[in-house]
Amino acid sequence: MSDTIADRFDRIRVPSAYEMVAEAIEAEIVSGRLRPGDEIGTEAALVRQFGVNRSTVREGIRVLEQGGLVRREAGRKLYVCEPRYDALSSRISRALVLQDVTFRELFDAALILEVGAVEGAVAHADAEVIAALEANQSRIEQAIGNPVLLSEIDTEFHALVAHASRNRVLELAREPAALLFFPSSEMICRRVPEGGPRMVEAHRRIIDAIKARDLELARLWMRRHLVDWRKGFVRAGREIDAPVERIFARYALSRSAL
Amino acid sequence: MSDTIADRFDRIRVPSAYEMVAEAIEAEIVSGRLRPGDEIGTEAALVRQFGVNRSTVREGIRVLEQGGLVRREAGRKLYVCEPRYDALSSRISRALVLQDVTFRELFDAALILEVGAVEGAVAHADAEVIAALEANQSRIEQAIGNPVLLSEIDTEFHALVAHASRNRVLELAREPAALLFFPSSEMICRRVPEGGPRMVEAHRRIIDAIKARDLELARLWMRRHLVDWRKGFVRAGREIDAPVERIFARYALSRSAL
DNA sequence: TTTTCCGCTTTGTCCGACAAACGGTCTCAC
DNA sequence: GTGAGACCGTTTGTCGGACAAAGCGGAAAA
């Protein structure tokens, strides 16, 4: 009977105790009354304050831990943590993989995000970041011929460029895609031998463009660098419209768990 | 003594039982052996299978729930859920707020992400999404003068544009920023009366450009639309380099919790 | 056939308990 | 006096058992 009438009201959600525990602590953190580094207190203390059972407190703590708001230092005290992205990014990467996003989507998004990041880097890079980029460059020049190292250093390069933009929103926005995108360059370098040198040259040009504050040149070489990746991907015999395999998700996850 | 020697080994992390429970179930989901919609089983069943206590199983379940991998249907059975972003995006928004990102960062990132999204929309929008955009437009034309509605419909408009790009990576990448960015347009419309009509015109032009597959025009009007926002922000007397207030985080969180 | 009621299942919460790991203190040998 | 080691209380991770409330399904009643 009632299913023939349009529902006027939403279902009422009664929050459970462990959710209220989590929300109470979260409110303290979001409002700033608890600051990163502060300790939350022992489980027993929380039991006293909230007047609920320890199991309930513990479930609430799990929620906060997963949300990246608190952190347990090596099985010991609970601290409010300075917001860490890694855990969140890897969770998003996992969601992307589960949705079977394609490499084309990944590539199109990376093009937008990485070019955006290098634009920001041209505008805001300071000496410190540029030094880090140069250090990265000298390492990658040593690593030609070693696909595993190449891919790792390349991933770090792009993270550094994003960091140079001094835009934490952008830095975060690109991370889930990067986590899935760059590991595959290992596979490419393995199968396309000229991939390594081309990558090293592109990085060199990008760093130079950032140092020269040359927006157009930076854009150009970042774009070229990524298009190279796509070419290599195809030449390595991969289908660009195929979904990102779930293998990569596992890889991204296991790395971030460390 | 040992702190004078460079540490060779990382601390060994012994995974606790509830983490292993969570990982075991996660592995089933990521590998595809458990598909969205499948049910996980009752807590009692998991207790039997894993041979651990129910409290332990429950903590593991909390972890998965927060990770957006499983979902409890109204206090009842556990299902593998089709990956939902909302929860994850709001968590990232929260992290951004806690880092005190500025409106300028938000604006710069939104410029890159939204222009990127509209580029994708020009390339990939289909009739269905365009119809949805038109419906959104007719609603916003009715809403001029109502800041709350305007801001809501504007937020939906941008989500639709991103969806039209048929790029789930980009769609997801923009969401955390959007969650923080667009709600503030309510404040702007409230204080800058001509904001409403300008927003409506920009949307109209963007939709037309998408329909005409005119890349440059779409870019132009999206950029103009966002720059308008920034102008309004300043004219409303707000400081663009000030951190996003924590109020907005709460707003974004409470919306996504529904 | 429809409504109502009853009992079973499952979740949310509680209580009490214990081993292992950790932190701090105290003692003892040097 | 100082350092090493033993000792002890605290805290976490896990366990077993228990109960009320809510949801589900089938039987009984209208």
Contact assignment for A62 to B18 by CB distance below 8 Å: yes
Q: What is the pLDDT of residues A94-120, one digit of tens each?
A: 888 788 899 999 999 999 999 999 999
Of B159, B161, B157, B233, the closest CA to residue B195 belongs to B233
Torsion angles phi and psi, residue B41, rounded to 5: 120, 165
| Cα distances (Å, whole numbers) of residue B84 to B87, B163, B172 | 7, 14, 10
Whether A107 contacts A251, CB under 8 Å: no
**Backbone angles phi and psi of A243, in degrees to 5:** -65, 150
Q: Which residues touch strand C (CB under 7 A)?
A: A 1, 16-18, 51-56, 59, 74-76; B 42-44, 54-55, 58, 72, 75-78
Q: What average pLDDT does this structure show over A60-80?
A: 84
pLDDT at residue A76 above 80? Answer: no
- Distance (Å) from CA B76 to C1' D26? 20
Q: Tens of pLDDT along B118-153?
A: 999 999 999 999 999 999 999 999 988 888 888 899
Single-letter amino acid, residue B178: A
- Does residue A214 lie in a domain region? yes
Strands B78-80 and B70-72: antiparallel
A112 with A23, same domain? no
Contact B43, B76 (CB under 8 A): no
pLDDT above 70 (res A234): yes
- For A16 and C4, how far is CA from C1' in angstroms? 30
The CB-based long-range contact list for A234-242 (8 Å cut-off, 24+ gap) reads A235/A191, A235/A192, A236/A187, A236/A188, A236/A190, A236/A191, A236/A192, A237/A191, A238/A103, A238/A187, A239/A103, A240/A102, A240/A103, A240/A104, A240/A107, A241/A102, A241/A103, A241/A104, A242/A102, A242/A103
Report how far residue B243's alpha carbon sits from residue A247's, in angstroms, rounded to the nearest whole number.
Answer: 39
Closest residue on chain A to B15 (Cα): A75
- Higher confidence at residue B250 or residue A56? A56
Set of chain B residues whose Cβ sits within 8 Å of the Cβ of A116: 109, 112-113, 116
Q: What is the pLDDT of residues B29-62, one digit of tens each?
A: 888 888 888 888 889 999 999 999 999 999 999 9
Q: Which domain holds residue B58?
A: 17-80
pLDDT at res. B194: 81
- Looking at the predicted structure, is the pLDDT value of residue A2 above 50? no
The pLDDT value recorded for residue B45 is 92
Confidence of residue A256 (pLDDT cuts 50, 70, 90): very low
Residues A214 and A229 occupy one common structural domain: yes
pLDDT at B73 over 80: no
pLDDT of residue B239: 86
Q: Which two tokens stand for residue A75?
A: 């099985």
Q: How far is the CA of A46 from the C1' of C25 (A)?
A: 27
Query: Same domain for A195 and A150?
Result: yes
Who wins on pLDDT, A80 or B77? A80
Residues B74 and B92 in one domain: no
Same domain membership, residue B213 and residue B127: yes
Q: Is residue A233 part of a domain?
A: yes
Tokens found for residue B37: 């919609």
Q: How many domains does chain A have?
A: 2
Whether residues A120 and A45 share a domain: the answer is no
pLDDT value, residue B75 = 56
The 10s digit of each residue's pLDDT in A136-182 is 999 999 988 888 888 899 999 999 999 999 999 999 999 989 988 87
pLDDT at B257 over 70: no
pLDDT of residue B2: 39
* Per-residue flag: A78 CB under 7 A of strand D: yes
Please tell me whether residues A26 and A128 are part of one structural domain.
no
- Residue at B2 is within a domain: no
- Looking at A55, A80, A105, the residue that finishes a domain is A80
Q: Which token pair is B131?
A: 């119809």
Inter-chain contact B30–A246, Cβ cutoff 8 Å?
A: yes
DSSP for B190-216 reads HH-TTHHHHHHHHHHHHHHHHHTT-HH
pLDDT of B168 over the 60 cut: yes
Q: Is residue B118 part of a domain?
A: yes
Contact A60, A21 (CB under 8 A): yes
Q: Which spans in A51-102 are helix H?
A: 54-66, 86-98
Domain CATH code at residue A30: 1.10.10.10
- Given B53, B80, B107, the domain boundary residue is B80
Who contacts B25 (Cβ-Cβ below 8 Å, separation ≥6)? B34, B40, B60, B64, B69, B70
Cα–Cα distance for residue pair A142/B76, rounded to 1 Å: 57
Residues 58-77 of A with CB under 7 A from strand D: 58, 72, 75-77
Residue with tokens 């007047």: A51
Whether B63 is covered by a domain: the verdict is yes
- Per the DSSP assignment, residues forming a β-bridge with B102 are B243
Separation between Cα atoms, residue A162 and residue A115, nearest integer Å = 10
User: Could you tell me the pLDDT band of residue A77, with boundaries at 50, 70 and 90?
Assistant: confident
Q: How many residues can be counted in chain A?
A: 258
| Lookup: tokens for B165 | 């790009």
If one compares A37 and A135, the residue with the highest pLDDT of the two is A135
**Min distance A147 CA to chain B CA atoms (Å):** 25
Query: Which chain B residues have a beta carbon less than 8 Å from that of A18?
Result: 62
Please indicate whether residue A30 or residue A227 has the higher confidence score (pLDDT): A227
* Max avg pLDDT among A133-147, A161-175, B67-81, B176-190: A161-175
Measured in angstroms, the CA of B61 and the nearest CA of chain A are apart by: 9
**DSSP bridge partners of A78:** A72
**For chain B, what is the radius of gyration of the CA atoms?**
23
Residue B218 covered by a domain: yes
Q: Which two tokens stand for residue B161?
A: 């544009």
Closest to A68 in 3D by CA, of A39, A33, A36:
A36
A136 and A198 housed in the same domain: yes
**Are residues A149 and A238 both part of a single domain?**
yes
Tell me the chain B residues in contact with residue A12 when contact means C-beta distances shorter than 8 Å: none
Taking an 8 Å cut-off on Cβ atoms, the answer to whether A105 and B169 are in contact is: yes
In this structure, are B97 and B164 located in the same domain? yes
Å separating the CA of residue A131 from the C1' of nucleotide D7: 52
pLDDT at residue A254 greater than cutoff 50: no
In this predicted structure, the answer to whether residue B216 has a pLDDT above a threshold of 50 is yes
The answer to whether B80 touches B37, Cβ cutoff 8 Å, is yes
Instruction: Answer whether residue B107 is part of any domain.
Output: yes
Strand D proximal to B32 Cβ, under 7 A: no
Q: How far is CA A136 from CA A143, A152, A255, B126, in A?
A: 11, 10, 20, 43
Would you tell me the crossing angle of helices A195-211 and A127-142 to the nearest 10 degrees?
Answer: 160
Q: What is the mean pLDDT of residues A17-40?
A: 88
| CATH number reported for the structural domain that contains residue A163 in this entry | 1.20.120.530
Determine the Cα–Cα distance for residues A37 and B200; give it in Å rounded to an integer: 46
Answer for the pair B165, A104: CB distance below 8 angstroms, yes or no: no
Three-state SS letters, A220-239: HHHHHHHHHHHHHHHHCCCC
Q: Please name which of A182, A164, A171 lies closest in space to residue A106, comparing C-alpha atoms.
A: A182
* Residue B6 placed within a domain: no
Of B64, B80, B96, the position where a domain reaches its end is B80
ipTM: 0.82
Which of A30, A84, A172 lies at the smallest CB-CB distance from B249?
A30
Mean pLDDT on A73-99: 77
**How many of the other CB atoms lie within 10 Å of CB of A165?**
26
How many whole angstroms separate alpha carbon A229 and alpha carbon B198? 41
* A127 and A249 share one domain: yes
Q: Look at residue B190 in the predicted model and tell me its pLDDT.
A: 82
Residue A72 pLDDT: 84
Q: Is the pLDDT of residue A253 over 80?
A: no
Mean pLDDT throughout B84-103?
Answer: 81
Of A36, A95, A109, the CB nearest to B173: A109
More confident residue, B104 or B32: B104
Query: Looking at residue B244, what DSSP letter applies?
Result: P
At B78, phi and psi to the nearest 5? -95, 125
Q: Is there a single domain that holds both residue A107 and residue A183? A: yes
